[in-house]
Structure 1
Amino acid sequence: MTQFQDLARRAQTAMRDVFDATPLQRNAHLSLRYGAEIYLKREDLTPVRSYKLRGAFNAMRKVMAKDPSRDLFVCASAGNHAQGVAYMCKHFGVKGVIFMPVTTPQQKIFKTKVFGGDAIEIRLIGDYFDDTLAASQAYCAEAGAVFLSPFDDEDVIEGQASVAAEIERQLGRVPDQVILPVGGGGLAAGVRSYFGQRTKLTLVEPLGGASLKAALQAGAPTRLDTLDGFVDGAAVARIGEKTFARLADINIADVLAAPEDRICTTILEMLNVEGIVLEPAGALAVDALEDVADQIKGKTVVCVTSGGNFDFERLPEVKERAQRYSGIKKYFILRLPQRPGALKEFLGILGPDDDIARFEYLKKSARNFGSVLIGIETKSPQNFETLFARLEAAGMTYTDITNDEALAQFLI
């Protein structure tokens, strides 16, 4: 046993005084689909519905073990890290100051307050996270507090590695393959350091936040020029220095990028089929099964579902993106003749499974033709081939704008 494995197991044991081990559940639905033994490591079932409290717990207990007088902790987060730190501040009976961007949804602020109670103070500073982070670090230096990094800290990495220690204990052996999300890299670095070469590790990033892949290509952590924040639990512009040091020699072919719209289909499937609520980052590992389907047949695979803090106000957006990705919903602009019966003619072209989800005239003053924004939902992507063929046969001009991001941003 390596020293790191021993430390991770000790952290795991110490955590049992605070919360139970999360379940390792065989999933019959996914196992049948992929011809493998698929297990879900349910980190979405911790007290704060994410694995983040593991790292917070381990970092805080080590600080206080070295210096029991340290009783003020600071972090900057708008999500799971804030909730994990709040929970642990209350557990250890210490004071926490949690900095959040002004734009943080009220639901996340409320949940953080619930977990921390009187032990924490929340400060809303900055429109962007970089401003929030700078403010938290300035306060930390001024107050002589302990800053709790969400991922780029050796004690946090060690705490997150307890996930791997639990998997090995619960399964009774090391699985053939472990699939897990990567954002700042704390969980990935911990699991990789614990398992070493004993299992195949597949890391999954959101396509719009592939900071690990960028770092592997550059040979060092590098900041992404653009960042898609949809997968808010894993969309990190720059992977951590300490975490990357533990991941720098990983095969870049084992780092996958999951399209945000496809992740939405996985969120809906897990909710509708399995009754499992996953946030976008929590669905990354399950979503990536599609990319490794040929590799995993007959093998034992563990997917880490890293979080379940899903705001159901986002459900309409998730459904919309999933339908568009699956090809069963499209938007197009139709040039409709401004004459009696033209609309009725168009409606007659629609198939029995085609439903109008959006209908809006864009140019109401046009004399001969009117531009109409139309959204159609149907049961099969093939139905659109039939619909468009009928439109063309009728001499109706249309432009499919479903995947035109610029137009979709303003019109849809």
Structure 2
Amino acid sequence: MTDFRDKARAATQEMRAVFDPTPLQLNAHLSERFGADIWLKREDLSPVRSYKLRGAFNAMRKLPDQKLFVCASAGNHAQGVAYMCKHFSVHGVIFMPVTTPQQKIQKTRMFGGDQVEIILTGDYFDDTLASAQAYAADKGGHFLSPFDDPDVIEGQASVAVEIEEQLGRAPDYIVLPVGGGGMSSGVATYFGDRTYPFFVEPKGGACLRAALAAGHPVQLEKVDTFVDGAAVGRIGERTFELLKNTPIRDALVLSEDRICTTIIEMLNVEGIVLEPAGALAIEALGDIARQVRGKTVVAVTSGGNFDFERLPEVKERAQRYSGTKKYFILRLPQRPGALKEFLNILGPDDDIARFEYLKKSARNFGSVLIGIETSAPENFDRLFAHLDDAGFTYTDITNDETVAQFVI
């Protein structure tokens, strides 16, 4: 343990020649809500807007004679590697899936400049990863894992070193987002039993919880890539070795829609731009509120690489989770005045966000897709009660994923 801490401190010291510590900020809004001192470790404010450059820096500095680094990534790891390739003046080849958004490709190219080459291959990340590893073996390059590498883990632990220096001590609790486990295992190992850690994953990529349940890393059958910075199908072997004694109750899992509520809140209330993975730790505070009351808590905001083209989807998912937006199919009579009768039922805070005739289900009736936004979830109780009293037939499809994916 002491040896790991010493190495993490040494790595942190070396980083100071490249970038400054990210801020540790006491957040008054969250502190008041949860009755604790809530500090945010703002990894979203690093030069590449995530912590990934830390591990890339530490791994590269330990290989001064290596001139070719290869990685596979569709996001933050690619940008961190590109940034460090430019810093160390080494060549980097970055493999990305062909489905990678242009914004991420352009940012990676911007950070790496002439030092990096981007190769788009594979529809799925597993195919991209296999191509990158084969290329590295063929060309004699060093394949740089995004998390399952001891030097990367050691570099990511610099997050903990900075927290300790900035706070003046170890916090009582720390909340860590988990993807492949590089940062979470490094930070938890550095603090050891001085800080109680909680780990947070998206429901569609809960590989740590699955590994804890099985006793070893397992491959998830399906991964939801919405929380792209933490959507990993299998936790790393090395990272799990460091996290395997975690009580399964401390591996928290949040739905993707729920995470969206924090993205919107932090943007609107605090002016903080977070990617879905970056919002995980903040949203998890609600699950541990009783335990942390009156204590010092650090939540790591792991990244802020948010594509604002996703904002409408994020807002939509947040509203659906909070119950202020619903979709339903209304069986509307095909007679004069029927639509006006329905509109008169709407309350003063009910807005029609979607209205679309689907088909005539019978000669005298038509099916209509309705989307309603309102100011409070309880408004829908009143709306549906009035629809029932008026004899309207409707089906709420808000949470019916099979139907929703076809009609919404």
- TM surpasses 0.5: yes
Please list every run of at least 4 consecutive aligned residues from structure 1 whose deviation after the TM superposition is greater than 2 angstroms.
Answer: none
1:6 maps to which residue? Answer: 6
2:367 is the counterpart of 1:371: yes
2:21 maps to which residue? Answer: 21
- Structure 2: which amino acid aligns with 1:54? R
Between the aligned partners of 1:164 and 1:71, the Cα distance in structure 2 is: 30
What aligned pairs does 1:95-244 form with structure 2 within 5 A after superposition? Answer: 95-244=91-240
1:192 CA drift (Å): 1.2
Using the aligned pairs only, state the percent identity. 75
1:367 CA drift (Å): 1.1
Q: Secondary structure at the match of 1:246?
A: helix
1:164 CA drift (Å): 0.4
**Cα deviation digits, residues 248-303 of structure 1 (max 9, x gap):** 01111111001111100000000000000000000000010010111111000000
**Cα deviation digits, residues 145-184 of structure 1 (max 9, x gap):** 0000000000000000000011011100110000010010
Between the aligned partners of 1:131 and 1:262, the Cα distance in structure 2 is: 30
Unmatched segments (≥5 aa) in structure 1 = none
2:326 is the counterpart of 1:330: yes
Of the three residues 330, 336, 343, the one matched with 1:340 is 336
Between the aligned partners of 1:394 and 1:324, the Cα distance in structure 2 is: 25
1:366 CA drift (Å): 3.9
2:293 is the counterpart of 1:305: no
Between the aligned partners of 1:365 and 1:7, the Cα distance in structure 2 is: 69
1:382 CA drift (Å): 0.7
Q: Secondary structure at the match of 2:111?
A: helix
1:31 maps to which residue? Answer: 31
2:69 is the counterpart of 1:76: no
2:403 is the counterpart of 1:407: yes
1:13 CA drift (Å): 0.3
1:257 maps to which residue? Answer: 253
Between the aligned partners of 2:8 and 2:196, the Cα distance in structure 1 is: 19
Between the aligned partners of 1:225 and 1:119, the Cα distance in structure 2 is: 37
Q: Secondary structure at the match of 2:359?
A: coil
2:384 maps to which residue? Answer: 388
Between the aligned partners of 2:172 and 2:388, the Cα distance in structure 1 is: 52
1:56 CA drift (Å): 0.2
Between the aligned partners of 1:184 and 1:63, the Cα distance in structure 2 is: 23
Between the aligned partners of 2:144 and 2:205, the Cα distance in structure 1 is: 23
- Structure 1: which amino acid aligns with 2:105? I
Between the aligned partners of 1:380 and 1:88, the Cα distance in structure 2 is: 48
Between the aligned partners of 1:289 and 1:240, the Cα distance in structure 2 is: 25
**Cα deviation digits, residues 184-212 of structure 1 (max 9, x gap):** 00011101110111110000000111000
1:140 CA drift (Å): 0.4
Q: Secondary structure at the match of 2:243?
A: coil
Q: Secondary structure at the match of 2:223?
A: coil
Of the three residues 252, 265, 269, the one matched with 1:269 is 265
1:118 CA drift (Å): 0.2
- Structure 2: which amino acid aligns with 1:46? S
Between the aligned partners of 1:168 and 1:82, the Cα distance in structure 2 is: 28
Between the aligned partners of 2:392 and 2:215, the Cα distance in structure 1 is: 53
Between the aligned partners of 1:146 and 1:39, the Cα distance in structure 2 is: 37
Unmatched segments (≥5 aa) in structure 2 = none
1:226 CA drift (Å): 1.2
- Structure 2: which amino acid aligns with 1:22? T
**Cα deviation digits, residues 329-387 of structure 1 (max 9, x gap):** 00000001111111111011111111100001111474111010000001111110000
Between the aligned partners of 1:42 and 1:180, the Cα distance in structure 2 is: 12
Contact 2:361 2:367 in 1 (8 A): no
Between the aligned partners of 1:91 and 1:145, the Cα distance in structure 2 is: 18
Considering only aligned residues, what root-mean-square deviation do their CA atoms show, in Å? 0.8
| Farther-moved stretch of structure 1 (308-317 vs 221-230) | 221-230
Q: Secondary structure at the match of 1:344?
A: helix
2:52 maps to which residue? Answer: 52
Between the aligned partners of 1:360 and 1:296, the Cα distance in structure 2 is: 47
Q: TM-score, normalised by structure 2?
A: 0.99
- Structure 2: which amino acid aligns with 1:275? G
Q: Secondary structure at the match of 1:363?
A: strand
Q: Secondary structure at the match of 1:362?
A: strand
1:61 maps to which residue? Answer: 61
Between the aligned partners of 1:55 and 1:18, the Cα distance in structure 2 is: 13
